[in-house]
């Protein structure tokens, strides 16, 4: 377990230095997932209900890692964007409330269980990502070989990785806000500058 916590630290440094982009997202997930012997790992970002989502709350798959020989979640078009709350309302409530979900597939809500069985998943561990006070999304590990009972230290490791992802998201949001302020100030200065005519 010590190695896994070391990998979380390395993943955190990577995400803060290079940001949460496809390459670093997959690399950070793989660093930690590999040490725990899980088969798949992923990061979903929540999208609020809108016209484009027909008024439904959806989760978009942003980053994924899979052990060699295991199909990546990115390979399944139905996982790219799906109505997570429709599939597992209780899980969504738990994650939104800041709680982890650790569940063998056999005990998952019916619709979610069907989806997991199709993916060959035997056990799932999910943790919320909360950059500030708002629930941004979730991170997860999957075991595709056995109905794994997730140990407290494994849950703690995923929570630590979720915090690292949250910090990277928060940093990107702050950078975007700062750029917006700079752009607004630049525009205001140009409008008030005296013309040469």
Instruction: Look at residues 5, 46, 73, 53 and name the one whose alpha carbon lies nearest to residue 129.
Output: 46
Euclidean distance between CA atoms 86 and 111, whole angstroms: 8
Angstrom CA distances, 58 to 13, 43, 47, 54, stand at 29, 13, 5, 10
pLDDT over 60 at 52, yes or no:
no
Cβ proximity of 56 and 62 under 8 Å: no
Question: 35 or 132: which carries more pLDDT confidence?
Answer: 35
pLDDT class for 178, splitting at 50, 70, 90?
low
pLDDT class for 185, splitting at 50, 70, 90?
low
Q: What is the pLDDT of residues 83-111, one digit of tens each?
A: 999 999 999 999 999 999 999 999 999 99
pTM (2 decimals)?
A: 0.86
Euclidean distance between CA atoms 39 and 24, whole angstroms: 18
Q: What is the pLDDT of residues 5-44, one digit of tens each?
A: 899 999 999 998 999 998 899 999 999 999 999 999 999 9
Domain ranges in the chain? 2-192
How many helices and strands, by DSSP H and E, does the chain display?
A: 7, 6
Cβ proximity of 117 and 147 under 8 Å: no
- What number does CATH give the domain 2-192? 3.30.450.40
- Show Cβ contacts of residue 140 under 8 Å, excluding neighbours closer than 6 positions: 41, 42, 44, 124, 125, 126, 127, 158
């Amino acid at each position: 377990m010590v190695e896994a916590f070391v990998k979380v630290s390395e993943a955190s440094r990577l995400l803060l230095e290079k940001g949460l982009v496809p390459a670093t997202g997959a690399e950070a997930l793989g660093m930690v997932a590999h040490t725990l012997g899980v088969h798949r790992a992923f990061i979903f970002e929540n999208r609020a209900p809108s016209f484009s989502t027909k008024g439904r709350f959806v989760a978009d798959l942003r980053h994924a890692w899979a052990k060699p020989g295991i199909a990546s979640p990115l390979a399944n078009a139905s996982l790219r964007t799906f109505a997570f709350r429709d599939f597992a309302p209780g899980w969504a409530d738990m994650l939104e409330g800041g709680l982890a979900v650790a569940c063998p597939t056999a005990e998952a809500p019916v619709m979610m269980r069907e989806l997991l069985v199709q993916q060959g998943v035997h056990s799932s561990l999910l943790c919320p990502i909360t950059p500030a006070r708002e629930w941004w999304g979730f991170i997860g590990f999957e075991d595709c070989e056995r109905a794994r009972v997730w140990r407290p230290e494994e849950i703690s490791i995923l929570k630590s990785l979720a915090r690292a992802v949250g910090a990277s998201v928060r940093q990107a949001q702050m950078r975007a806000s700062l750029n917006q302020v700079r752009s607004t100030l630049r525009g205001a200065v140009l409008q008030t500058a005296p013309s040469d005519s």
